[in-house]
Amino acid sequence: MSGLVAVTAEGGVVTIRMNRPEKKNAINRAMYREMKEALEAAAQDDAVRAIVFAGVPGAFCAGNDIADFMAIAEGGSLPGEVRDFLLLVAQYPKPLVAALDGLAIGIGTTLLMHCDLAYATPNSVFRTPFLDLGVTPEAASSLIAPRMMGDQRAFALLVLGEAFDAQSAREAGLIYKVSEDCEAAAMEAARALAKKPPEALSIARELVRGPRTDVVATIDRELEIFSERLRSKEARAAFAAFLSR
């Protein structure tokens, strides 16, 4: 284990905490792998009824690690850990809750589209600067965001790269509530879900979320395009500029 992801369990709730504060929780390959492993273990454990994703004060997630992107741009391949994590989250059999404070950039925002409930502090900022990096939307956001918030808000978020504050994110349906203590609010909801009859909870959640076939297909299509874009001249120039700051 890298130590960059902390996993704890209490009262039927597993908390998966991204814990790389010096990089504002930019996700690297090891973190994707460890979060996937934690989710798989929780899915197999009947005592676990809900998952909470959390970060550190001031940073839920600053997006993907640009150094990993640069390695791909220079001839590497898109890590399988990324696809494995996204497909698992998209089809996860138990409720997913998020608690976030501060930055929610890139995957830090699109991950929320797969969560059943998300709670954010008032100072949280949501942004997907995909085009600024010469790449394109991921995590099925190109499908989910227009359904969730309408075409124009989705375009502003995913293409224009406009930053949403917590209130705008709530109005768009990206988060459920704004709370000064987002972790307490998220844990309260997760514990309440953990007390529900598990079979009824699973069925109700499946009915609300609907079929995931189109979501899975979109994840794969987006990753194909994303991988191509990572090798583009635009992306290489953007990554080099970012790393030289």
User: Would you place residue 21 in the very low, low, confident or very high pLDDT band (cuts 50, 70, 90)?
Assistant: very high
| Contact assessment for residue 147 and residue 157, using Cβ atoms and an 8 Å cutoff | no
Return the percentage of the chain with pLDDT > 70, whole number: 99
Phi then psi for residue 25, to 5 deg, are 65, 35
Domains of the chain by range and CATH? Answer: 5-180 (3.90.226.10)
Bridge partners of 124, per DSSP, are none
> 164-165 and 125-127: which strand pairing?
antiparallel
- 214 versus 240: the higher-pLDDT residue is 214
Q: What is the pLDDT of residues 27-67, one digit of tens each?
A: 999 999 999 999 999 999 999 999 999 999 999 999 999 88
pTM of the model: 0.96
Phi then psi for residue 17, to 5 deg, are -110, 120
Q: What is the pLDDT of residues 142-194, one digit of tens each?
A: 999 999 999 999 999 999 999 999 999 999 999 999 999 999 999 999 999 99
Q: What is the pLDDT of residues 71-102, one digit of tens each?
A: 887 776 777 999 999 999 999 999 999 999 99
Residues 6 or more apart whose CB falls under 8 angstroms from that of 243 comprise: 66, 67, 70
Looking at residue 195, its amino acid is K
Helix (H, G, I), strand (E, B) or coil at 239: helix
Burial of 80 (0-12, 13-18, 19+ CB in 10 A): exposed
Chain centroid, CA 56 distance in Å? 15
Mapping DSSP onto H, E and C, the string for 123-138 reads CCEEECCCHHHCCCCC
